[in-house]
Structures are given as C-alpha cells and as structure tokens.
Structure 1
Amino acid sequence: MKSICVFCGSSMGNRPSYAYAAASLGRELALLKIDLIYGGSNIGTMRVLADACLATGGNVTGIMPHLLANREILHQSLTKVITCNTMAERKEWMGKLADAFIVLPGGVGTLDELFEAFTWLQLDVYEKPIGLLNVEGFFDDLLRFLDRATHDGFIRREHRQNLIVDDDPGRLIERLHNETLVKPHSKWVDELIDDTNNKLSSQ
C-alpha cells in the first residue's frame, strides 16, 4: 500500500482527542512510508494531519478546488499540490491516487467524501478499502444507521462488511492492508430488479 487518502475536518472539533488522532495518524503514515493524500487545507484537523506527517518526513499531496485555494486556506508546505475546478473533481483525483481511504471525525464535507468512496466500492468503480478511525466512539451513531439500513434492505450485507472500523491508527492501517474486500456475487443488481418487481406486483 503506497498511498492513503484521509478525509477529515476543516474544524478542530471540541475535543483534544480529535487533533491527537489526526496527528497520530499523520505520523504513522510517515513512519510506514505511506504517502498521505488529503484535501490540502491548512485549517482544522486537516492541517494537524498534514503537519504531523510532514514533520515526520512523510510525503503529502493536497488536492483543492480553485474556489478554496483562492480563499488562502491552501497549505503552503506540501510535497505536492493538485488544484482542480470542482469538489467533484477533487474526489475523482483522490479516488485515482489513493490505494485506500481513512475517515477521521469531521462534518458534512467529510461525510460526503466517505459516502462517495463507499459508493465507488459498492459499484466497483474502485476496489479500495475504507477505514473509519472511530475516535471516542464518534462514528457509533453513523454505524448504527448503516446497520439499520442494512437490516431494512437498503445496503447489502457484503457492502456493509467492507467498512473497517478501529480506534487505533496503526491497527487500522494494518487492517486496511490485510483484510480482503467482501464482494457480492455478480447477479446482485439483477436481484434488486427482481425484488422491486416482486414487491410491486404483490401490492
């Protein structure tokens, strides 16, 4: 595994543990010689993550739309910077360059990136693992929602199993490297069509 894209916040959050986790992950990536790919910002836990990786000798690529770069929030000390036109292009670059994804606590933008990557995995756009660094149980409620959506038939169990959750950065990276993605059989879309037709015809 040569590179990992990390999704995290443009805010620091209200708990010191969020910044601590971001810094720990940044250092761990550098020590393991894994390149960090992230959103390119110099604010929030995004900055903490990048600073820690750079200070430990790691390589950091930031990807940022012109709209945000022009607001002077682009980190000025990165190994490499890629600017693009839109938020959608930013995520496309992240998907192409990363071998895996890690999600830290964050807000709406972080969740958008998580679910984009999760959808890529579901649709076989990329076969790249996704890990949630569950700092102080931050993602517990989200995981309960995903379990409910799986139980109620909106997410396939095979897809749900592909989200790897851990509260330790080093262990999460190791699991991303070692665990095998669970793939549904090739007819799963046909099953959705049949299920829709059967349930509509029985109404």
Structure 2
Amino acid sequence: MLALASAILLAGCVPTNSTGSPRELTRPAAPSQEIPDPQNPAWVEQTAERTGIPERALEAYSSASIQLAELMPECGIGWNTLAGIGATESRHGGYGGATIGPDGTVSPAIVGVPLDGGEGVAAIPDTDGGAFDGDTEWDRAVGPMQFIPETWSFYGRDGNGDGQADPHQFDDAALSAGVLLCERGGDLTTDDGWNTAVLAYNQSLSYANTVADRAESYAASTSTATE
C-alpha cells in the first residue's frame, strides 16, 4: 500500500481494516555479517542484482544505516528496514515513472494526495507554503520516503552533505526516515522497538507486515548469496 495512494503516512489516520501483527525484521535472522558498503561499486551492484533495488536507492539506504550506526548506535536499524519502507512508500523512488538521478534527486517529484480531511486522510493545512509539495492550501506527502512537510520540519536531515535537507533527495530522505524510526522506536533490534518505530511511520498493522516481509526478503537475498 503506497502512502501516496492512502496518504496516511504520519498523518494520524488509522485504517479500520488493519489485520495481523507486525514483527521484528530490522536485520536478517541469519545475517551473512556482510557490512553494507555504498562506496563499493561491487557491493552495490551485486546487492542490487540480488534484491531488485535500484543501485542509487540502495546507496541511500546503506549510507543512511552507516550514518545512523554512528549517530544513534543504540538504534541498530538495518538498511533492509529502510529499503522495506522505501519499497512500500514509493517503489524505491520509481512510483509514477519517477527516476533517481545520479545526485539522488527523484524526478518528477513524487507527491501524494492533499491531506484535506477526505476519506482515509487527516486534515493538515499547509505548513510549508507549498515549498516541497506545491500545495499552498493542504500538506501532501512528498519524496521517495513520503514525508509530510510538517513532519519533515522536525526530522529532515542532510544525508548527502550538501548543506540542505530535501525530502525529494534520496540520501536526505533515507537518513531522515531512519532518524524518525530510531527516535520513535529506540532499540530496533527488539520486537517492541521495531514495531513501535514502523507503526509510528504509518499507523497500520498491514503496512508494518508488508515492510517486514520486504525487509526479510532483502535480508534473505543477501544472506543466501553468501552462504
């Protein structure tokens, strides 16, 4: 379920049909101990081939996990969790035919429906003057990790070191998503921490299970390839 279709990401709207229960999957159950290395073209190419994740998106997820290991070492978030969210939110930045440029900018910009209080969405009047979402009346979820501008104002981080935080730039978006998850969940190597974090990102059990399934699949792909 894409946040752009449902527009419930961090909007405080809880779906009424959610079933199932999320479970921990911040890192594979039987990891290969392979350390992600976004600066290593061989690692990026091989992992992208195994998982089906675009190389530039994979660089953003893995770089964010490395930065977070230094900034918030108590969190323990895995790159595969970020990838699971990116896949669910925007198809790794490919929703609607969008592509990721070499600099990590996703274009055309991925922008969700207006959060105008209609069916299935919260009412969030414009908070960014349309700077990120092009809407001066209502906020909309934006970018490959589908941040609402109001939430971006709290969690937006500069992931690529260019001096600005842009939700449409993949490195920035991935690191910011990780910061949000870590702050909300604490220790994401525990069931409670992971579940709390992902449900803070999107208040849907079915969403959390989808992210978990995808994170598990990515972890299994990399683990199996090295066994």
TM bucket normalised to smaller = under 0.3
Q: Decide which structure has greater strand share.
A: 1
TM-score by length of 2: 0.25
TM-score by length of 1: 0.27
Greater Cα radius of gyration, structure 1 or 2: 1
Q: Decide which structure has greater helix share.
A: 1
